[in-house]
Every structure is written in structure tokens, then in C-alpha cells.
Amino acid sequence: MHVEEIRAAERSFRSSFGQSVPARKLTTEAIHAFQTIIYAHFREYGRELPWRETNDPYRILISEVMLQQTQVERVIAKYEAFVSTFPDFHALAHAPLREILRVWQGLGYNRRAIALKRTAETVVAVYAGTLPSEPAELVKLPGIGPYTAAAITTFAFNQPTVFIETNIRTVFIHFFFVDQSEIADAEIRPLVEQTLDAAEPRRWYYALMDYGVLLKQQHRNPNRCSAHYQKQTPFKGSNRELRGAILRALTRESRLSERELVHVIGADLVRMRHALSQLQEEGFVKKSGAYFQIA
């Protein structure tokens, strides 16, 4: 199928099956038609991404954590550098936090970096260096919630779990909730479960995500129809920006005083003290005398 044929099949599907029905149970015909469209697009236009070329649970874990709240394009280069520097759980568990943050720099949301280190330490200490495959075990690890646990289970172990992320949500809203708004994930989840390709869940979810990317390119913010849609708060001038600036400064220098940090970053002293207090509580930095350094 070429793009024009895929678009025609999509329009036909939405006309035939895309109207909201309470407690919807999809027919076998609807499921087959939906899967055919999604797979047709994937065969022609599926993205080649480095974490799709491996079944290594460690590498898939790294990619899934990096992809939390960060665009694919920004993740690609960082992913390659990260897994090259820290090739397995043992290497990451024993690496200094300062070195991990140095490699992580540019991805933002630095809590993910420290969570990955703590996860690696747990996997080495508790699971003998082997990532567990069950979502119930994965959610016990730092920084891994229900979505990430399910995604790892599918992408690393090819198990047919049910989960929703932004691109998947976009696809189901577009196909099954025509001209509706405030659509809850609880309404979408049964449809995800019914249409899941249990024989090839890894490939199926990749195909869904890539179709979601296509829809976002064609339609402005389709997830606004979701009941879970939230605008991202501005980064400029935020506490998150200040925290990131502190960590960048401390990865460049072995240690800095509060006064030196204020001078280097140019931040307000009160905000600086608040951010430093947070970073200490979370285990990012430690204070020795008048100086701060990466923990």
C-alpha cells in the first residue's frame, strides 16, 4: 500500500467503524481492517531506531527511560553515547554519578539519570545483573512506572502487555473517537487490548507508535481530545532549568561554593538555596563544608 491507499483505507475505516459505541466490542472484521492499515504504513514508512535493532533488556530499559518526556530525535545521539560508555548494568551500577550526569547532559529531567543508576545497582544486587521480565517486578525499580514496565516487557521480552503512550493514544482517538473530546484512557484501553497482535506485540506497538507520529505531523495536537491532555509548563526560568544549570556546573567543576554557583549561573540566591536543598535531598549533590559537589 502506498500513502494514498493507506489514507483511503483509513477514511473508509473511520466511516465504517469509528463511531463511539458504549461498552464497545470490536468485530473481527474491524480488528483485521485496523491492523491492516497500521501494518501497511509500518511496512512502507516504519522508523529505523537503534533500540529497535536489539533485544537486550538493558538497552531497551535505557531507551524507554530516555524517551520519557523527551523527543526521539534528541534521544538517538544520547542513547548511543550512553550505552557505549555504560554497556551493561554492572558498568552503570559502578559508574560515578558525576560521569553519568555528564553523559546524560542535554536530555533534561535529570531524575531519570539517578533513577537509572539506582535501578542498575538493584538489578546487580538483587537480580544478579539480569533484568526481571515481569511488570510486577519491574515497577519496584526506581523510575519505572506501569507504562515503562509494560513497554520493557513487550519490547525486551516480546510479551503481549497492554499499555498506552502519547502516540498510541493519538491513533485510537483518531480512528475510534471521531469528533469527540475528553476521551479517557479507560475508554481507549479495551480497544488497545482487543486490537493487540499477541503473536507479534513488539512489532505491533512499534507500528502503532509510528502511525501516531504520522498523525501528529498531519494534525495539530490531536491529543488535545484526550481527557489527560496537559500543556507542558515553560522551561525557561523554571526551577527545572535552575536545577539543570547547577548539575551542569558541578559536572564541569569538582566542587563549587554557593557564592560561586550564584556567580556562574547568575541565579537569585533564595532560588539557588531552594534548588540546592532539593538536589541534596534527592541524592544528586552533597555538601562538604562550604562546597557542593556531585554525590
In whole angstroms, give the CA distance from residue 196 to residue 193: 5
Cell of 141: 525499580
pLDDT tens-digit map of 240-256: 889 999 999 999 888 99
Q: What pLDDT, on the 0 to 100 scale, is given for residue 182?
A: 80
pLDDT, greater one: 27 or 156: 156
| H helical segments located in the chain | 3-17, 28-45, 57-66, 72-85, 89-94, 97-104, 111-126, 135-138, 146-157, 166-176, 185-195, 201-218, 239-252, 258-265, 269-281
Q: Partners of 292 in the beta sheet?
A: 256, 287
Instruction: List the CATH code of the domain at 239-294.
Output: 1.10.10.10
Cell of 212: 501516531
Q: What pLDDT, on the 0 to 100 scale, is given for residue 226?
A: 63
- Any idea where the domains of the chain sit in the sequence? 3-49+161-225, 56-157, 239-294
**Mean pLDDT of all residues in 11-37:** 81
Look at residue 20 and tell me whether its pLDDT is greater than 60.
no
In whole angstroms, give the CA distance from residue 295 to residue 117: 12
Structural contact between residues 185 and 170, judged by C-beta atoms closer than 8 angstroms: no
* 3-class secondary structure per residue, 26-74: CCHHHHHHHHHHHHHHHHHHCCCCHHHHCCCHHHHHHHHHHCCCCCHHH
| H helical segments located in 159-200 | 166-176, 185-195
Look at residue 22 and tell me whether its pLDDT is greater than 60.
no
pLDDT tens-digit map of 118-146: 999 999 999 999 999 999 999 999 999 99
pLDDT tens-digit map of 267-294: 888 999 999 999 999 999 999 999 999 9
The CATH class given to the 56-157 domain equals mainly alpha
With the C-alpha atoms ordered 80, 84, 86, 90, is the resulting torsion angle positive or negative? Answer: positive
Query: Listing from the earlier edge strand, what are the strands of the sheet with 285-288?
Result: 256-257, 291-294, 285-288
Look at residue 154 and tell me whether its pLDDT is greater than 90.
yes
Within 8 A by CB and 6+ apart from 172, the residues are 164, 188, 191, 192
Which residue has cell 466490542? 25
- Residue 232 is given by DSSP the state P
Cell of 211: 502511525
The catalytically annotated residue of 4, 5, 48, 64 is 64
**pTM, two decimal places:** 0.83
Q: Please confirm, yes or no, whether 64 is among the known catalytic residues.
A: yes
**Mean predicted lDDT score pLDDT of the chain:** 91
Q: Partners of 257 in the beta sheet?
A: 291
pLDDT, greater one: 232 or 131: 131
The percentage of residues in the chain with a pLDDT greater than 70, rounded to a whole number, is: 92
Helix 57-66 and helix 72-85, axial crossing angle in degrees, nearest 10 = 140
pLDDT tens-digit map of 68-120: 988 999 999 899 999 999 999 999 999 999 999 999 998 988 999 999 999 99
In whole angstroms, give the CA distance from residue 79 to residue 74: 9
In whole angstroms, give the CA distance from residue 39 to residue 206: 10
CA 195 to chain centre: 22
**Mean pLDDT of all residues in 190-197:** 96
Q: Partners of 226 in the beta sheet?
A: 183
